[in-house]
Amino acid sequence: MTTEFVQKELSKLDVETIVVIVSNSSTVEGCRFLRENLNACIVEADFSGYKSGHRVYVLDIKENLGFAIANNLGVAFIARFFPGIEYVLFTNNDIRIVDPQVVSVLIDKYESVEGVGIIGPNILHVDGTRQTPMPKTYLWRNIWETLSSPLMSIIKHQPVEYCDLAQEGFHYTFAECFFISRLKDYVACGMMDPHTFLYAEGCILSERMGKIGLGYYFAPDMTVIHDNGSTTRKYLGTYVYKMMSRSNAYYFRAYRGYSAFSVWCFLTVSNMMCKLAGLKRFIKNIS
């Protein structure tokens, strides 16, 4: 998937790029494949093995560091060896580029609008529905929505999503699968929080950017398509839900100042719903 993404999707962009692939849980065979098919330079986690003159670099990480640490490591590599690069595009490998001008247009907006620290396009699911932007979330409202979701499903209530009504401008947070940040802004805010493994990185990065007076800007005139979930499909089920709950609990406690009791309530409700969902799947499988 990564090779195809670099060859078929990134090649559409109307800007010159240096590609840094952070290969979590990499294997010898996987690195060899990337080197042979992308003419990539394989670099160790401590950046040894770097050779200039390549367009594609692969950071060979033997363990799975998680989303946040992997992105920070990639940025550290760029800052060290390519100090002239001003903007960094963070992207999953399950993105389809719709508008080849997406990066150049986003950078133009970044530079023309004051206060931008993160900018992203219109990100669509494969079914055409919007994935971003997202509003600020509140712990007790989250608990209520989680508890009431079975009832809402029964009565087939489908509330209008915030992202469906969102207009161009500043919003609270974004989908982390495709966004741009100025390198110096990303570093100045403290980068992504290494305490998260997966999920909640966007909310946390928005909070960190806010501390230095910058925010997330939504530019819907450019579009990409996200095959949402393909990068986590092998972790389907309760594992993903628990991981998401733990990351959100950390975000609520560390960045929003909710009490330990409030976060305990949040995790208790999340774990309960997770068990109910697992039971429902088990009954369905044996029936």
pLDDT digit string (tens) for 55-96? 999 999 999 989 999 999 999 999 999 999 999 999 999 999
Phi then psi dihedrals of residue 123, to 5 deg: -105, 120
- pLDDT above 70 coverage of the chain, percent: 89
pTM of the model: 0.89
Going by pLDDT thresholds of 50, 70 and 90, the confidence category of residue 26 is confident
Residue with tokens 């396009």: 121
50/286 Cα distance (integer angstroms): 53
Question: Tell me, what amino acid is at 104?
Answer: S
Stretch among 130-139, 205-214, 230-239 having the lowest mean pLDDT: 230-239
For residue 229, pLDDT beyond 90? no
Cα 6 to Cα 21, 94, 193, distances in angstroms:
10, 11, 27
Q: Do residues 126 and 225 touch, judged by C-beta distance below 8 A? A: yes
Q: Output the pLDDT for position 282.
A: 44
156 or 191, higher pLDDT: 191
CA count, 13 A, side-chain hemisphere, 61: 19
For residue 134, pLDDT beyond 70? yes
